[in-house]
Amino acid sequence: MTDLLGPIKSIRKFIKKLDPAEHLKTHLSLTGWQAELFDLVIGLAMAALLYYLILPFILGATPPAVVVQSCSMKGSLNVGDVVVLQGVSFEDVNAPLIELDGPLTFLPIPNDARQPTKSIIFSNNQTLKLDTKGDTIVFISKISGDQIVHRIIAKVVTPEGRFYLTKGDANNIPDASKIDCSVWQNNHCSVHKSQIQNTCTEKDKGWSGCIATPIPEEEIAGRQYFVIPLIGHIKMLFFHLITLGNGYPGDFWC
* 226 located within any domain: no
Nearest to 177 by CA among 160, 159, 158, 154: 154
* 140 located within any domain: yes
Per-residue pLDDT, 42: 77
Q: Given phi > 0 = left and psi -120 to 50 = alpha, else beta, which region is 88?
A: beta
Per-residue pLDDT, 248: 72
37 and 127 in a single domain? The answer is no
Q: Given phi > 0 = left and psi -120 to 50 = alpha, else beta, which region is 32?
A: left
96 and 216 in a single domain? The answer is yes
- Can you list the positions of beta strands (E) in 123-213? 127-129, 136-140, 147-158, 161-167, 177-185, 188-199
- Show pLDDT as tens, one digit a residue, over the chain (254 residues): 555 566 666 666 666 665 676 766 676 776 777 777 777 787 778 877 888 788 888 989 889 999 999 999 999 999 999 999 999 999 999 999 999 999 999 999 999 999 999 999 999 999 999 999 999 999 999 999 999 999 999 999 999 999 999 999 999 999 999 999 989 888 788 899 999 999 999 999 988 899 999 999 999 999 999 999 999 998 888 877 777 666 677 678 88
104 and 17 in a single domain? The answer is no
93 and 175 in a single domain? The answer is yes
- List the domain range (segments joined by +) for residue 184: 88-221
102 and 205 in a single domain? The answer is yes
143 and 188 in a single domain? The answer is yes
114 and 206 in a single domain? The answer is yes
Total of domains in the chain: 2
Nearest to 172 by CA among 196, 189, 138: 196
CA distances to 89, 156, 173, 181, 234 from 98, rounded to whole Å, are 16, 5, 18, 29, 40
Per-residue pLDDT, 103: 92
* 242 located within any domain: no
DSSP 89-137: -TTTS-S-EEE-SS---EEEES--TTS---EEEETTS-EEE--S-SPEE
* 72 located within any domain: no
Nearest to 119 by CA among 170, 73, 74, 153: 153
* 32 located within any domain: yes
User: Could you give the CA distance from residue 188 to residue 111 in angstroms, rounded to a whole number?
Assistant: 23
* DSSP-derived secondary structure letter, 51: I
* 25 located within any domain: yes
At position 233, the amino acid (one-letter code) is: H
54 and 98 in a single domain? The answer is no
* 135 located within any domain: yes
51 and 101 in a single domain? The answer is no
Contact (Cβ atoms closer than 8 angstroms) between residue 164 and residue 172: no
129 and 34 in a single domain? The answer is no
Report the SS3 class of residue 173. coil
Report the SS3 class of residue 153. strand
108 and 162 in a single domain? The answer is yes
Per-residue pLDDT, 18: 59
DSSP 206-226: T-TT-S-PPEEGGGEEEEEEE
In this prediction the pTM is: 0.84
213 and 103 in a single domain? The answer is yes
* 35 located within any domain: yes
